[in-house]
């Protein structure tokens, strides 16, 4: 049974009309093709494993490199089809491009572009070469643009539901390629993003409460991600066996004291731009406010991150949240 309609780029690629001039961006792969590309899902090709399944590096006969996500269990067919069609129909330069899918027998696979610089989390919290300041700023803006696209321009509008550093992959230019959107409905309840986020510190209080995602919940998670990006600290740091510290509370206390030099990732050895640090920290804290109605939208976040005017900075600094006596 063929469950999938063929969706291509966001502009509505029509295979029949465009076949002579364009390579289809989205197509069905055979299992045989993917076996050949990944050396039969060889252990040496394995890039890693997430909650949904394992990811393998592969190469197609045309030389292009792919990452094949082999989903763990067979999904409810219609749900898989709908979700896969969302992936196939959503195109933005800072979203990870899904090139196609394979559904044969019990196998459910999604084929993505391969990202040579792995994920943001591997750069921030491992021995990978340190991400310099310029790259961090580029990642902040490009990942915000991707999520803003999902919220404000994609058809249908998409709540990411699982914004975090491991879902920000990095392309050869170290630009963000946000991934794992549209997976919410693919996940079994007990494995849901909400449950995982709960302990990772990315989930907003109202999403913890409701167990579901929302666009304002994405904004909160993105705020936490911004703070992680500039501090190099995990959203929740374990200080000792019993005490954990949330990144938002820690950063806000230092902002009250105007101790930005203590907030920034110390491994940068002072190589950062003061006003950019201040801006990202303040925008991150605005996003990660407990009350959803006080958070900006993602398009406002993009605007604030890209705006370099003194007026905007003065506006941000004047927000009561950042004044201990007014907001804190």
Ligand X SMILES: Nc1ncnc2c1ncn2[C@@H]1O[C@H](COP(=O)(O)OP(=O)(O)OP(=O)(O)O)[C@@H](O)[C@H]1O
Residues annotated catalytic, as ranges: 162
Q: Supply the minimum distance, in Å, between the C-beta of residue 26 and ligand X.
A: 15
- Which of 29, 101, 112, 174 is close enough to bind ligand X by CB under 6 A? 112
| Interacting positions 43-62 with ligand X (CB under 6 A) | 47-52, 55
Secondary structure of residue 62 in the 3-state scheme: coil
Among residues 50 and 292, whose Cβ is nearest to ligand X? Answer: 50
118 sits near ligand X (criterion: CB under 6 A): yes
C-alpha 307: how far from chain center: 22
| Span from 41-49, 129-137, 263-271, 306-314 in contact with ligand X (CB under 6 A) | 41-49
Which residues does 48 contact at the CB level (< 8 Å), separation at least 6?
A: 54, 55
DSSP H helices, 15-106, are 15-18, 31-37, 77-89
Cβ proximity of 67 and 109 under 8 Å? no
Among residues 117 and 289, whose Cβ is nearest to ligand X? Answer: 117
Dihedrals φ, ψ of 59, to 5°?
-135, 130
Among residues 48 and 327, whose Cβ is nearest to ligand X? Answer: 48
Residue of minimal CB distance from ligand X? 50
115 sits near ligand X (criterion: CB under 6 A): yes
Question: Is 258 annotated as contributing to ligand binding?
Answer: no
Q: Which residue has the tokens 């899918």?
A: 101
Cβ proximity of 206 and 214 under 8 Å? yes
What is the spatial distance between Cα 221 and Cα 215, in angstroms, rounded to a whole number?
A: 10
143 sits near ligand X (criterion: CB under 6 A): no
Q: Supply the minimum distance, in Å, between the C-beta of residue 294 and ligand X.
A: 28
101 sits near ligand X (criterion: CB under 6 A): no
174 sits near ligand X (criterion: CB under 6 A): no
Are β-strands 236-238 and 176-178 bridged in parallel, bridged antiparallel, or unpaired? unpaired
Q: Which residue has the tokens 């989903």?
A: 71
Q: Supply the minimum distance, in Å, between the C-beta of residue 322 and ligand X.
A: 32
97 sits near ligand X (criterion: CB under 6 A): no
Show the beta-strand stretches assigned E in the chain: 27-28, 46-49, 53-59, 65-71, 98-104, 107-113, 168-170, 176-178, 236-238, 244-246
- Report the residue count for the chain: 328
- Which of 167, 194, 248, 289 is close enough to bind ligand X by CB under 6 A? 167
- Which of 94, 119, 200, 221 is close enough to bind ligand X by CB under 6 A? 119
Dihedrals φ, ψ of 259, to 5°?
-100, 65
Secondary structure of residue 40 in the 3-state scheme: coil
Q: Supply the minimum distance, in Å, between the C-beta of residue 131 and ligand X.
A: 15
| Span from 115-123, 215-223, 250-258, 281-289 in contact with ligand X (CB under 6 A) | 115-123
What is the spatial distance between Cα 206 and Cα 312, in angstroms, rounded to a whole number?
A: 29
- In the complex, which residues of this chain contact ligand X (CB under 6 A)? 47-52, 55, 67, 69, 96, 112-115, 118-119, 166-167, 169, 180
Annotation: binding site for ATP: 69
């Amino acid at each position: 049974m063929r469950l999938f309609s063929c969706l291509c780029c966001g502009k509505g690629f029509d295979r029949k009309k465009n076949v002579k001039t364009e390579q289809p961006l989205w197509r069905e792969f055979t299992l045989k093709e993917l076996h050949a590309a990944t050396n039969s899902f060889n252990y040496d090709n394995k890039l890693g494993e997430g909650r949904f399944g394992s990811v393998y590096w592969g190469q197609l006969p045309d030389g292009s490199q792919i990452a094949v996500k082999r989903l763990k269990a067979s999904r409810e067919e219609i749900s898989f089809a709908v979700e896969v069609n969302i992936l196939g129909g959503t195109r933005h330069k800072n979203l990870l491009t899904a090139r196609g899918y394979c559904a044969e027998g019990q196998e459910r696979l999604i084929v993505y572009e391969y990202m040579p610089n792995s994920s943001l989390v591997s750069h921030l919290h491992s021995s990978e070469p340190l991400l310099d300041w310029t790259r961090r700023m580029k990642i902040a803006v490009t990942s915000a643009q991707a999520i803003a696209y999902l919220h404000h321009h994609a058809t249908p509008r998409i709540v990411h539901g699982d914004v975090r550093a491991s879902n920000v992959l990095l392309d050869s230019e170290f630009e963000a390629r946000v991934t794992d959107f549209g997976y919410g409905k693919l996940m079994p309840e007990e494995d849901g993003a909400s449950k995982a986020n709960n302990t990772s510190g990315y989930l907003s209080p109202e999403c913890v409460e409701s167990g579901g995602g929302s666009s304002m919940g994405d904004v909160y998670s993105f705020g936490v991600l911004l703070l992680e990006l500039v501090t190099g600290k995990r959203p929740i740091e374990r200080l000792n066996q019993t005490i954990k510290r949330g990144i938002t509370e820690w950063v806000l206390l230092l902002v009250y004291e105007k101790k930005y030099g203590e907030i920034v990732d110390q491994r940068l050895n002072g190589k950062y731009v003061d006003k950019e640090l201040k801006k990202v920290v303040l925008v991150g804290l605005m996003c990660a406010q407990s009350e959803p109605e006080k958070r900006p939208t993602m398009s406002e976040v993009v605007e604030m991150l890209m705006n370099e005017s003194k007026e905007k900075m003065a506006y941000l600094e004047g927000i009561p949240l950042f004044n201990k006596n007014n907001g804190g």
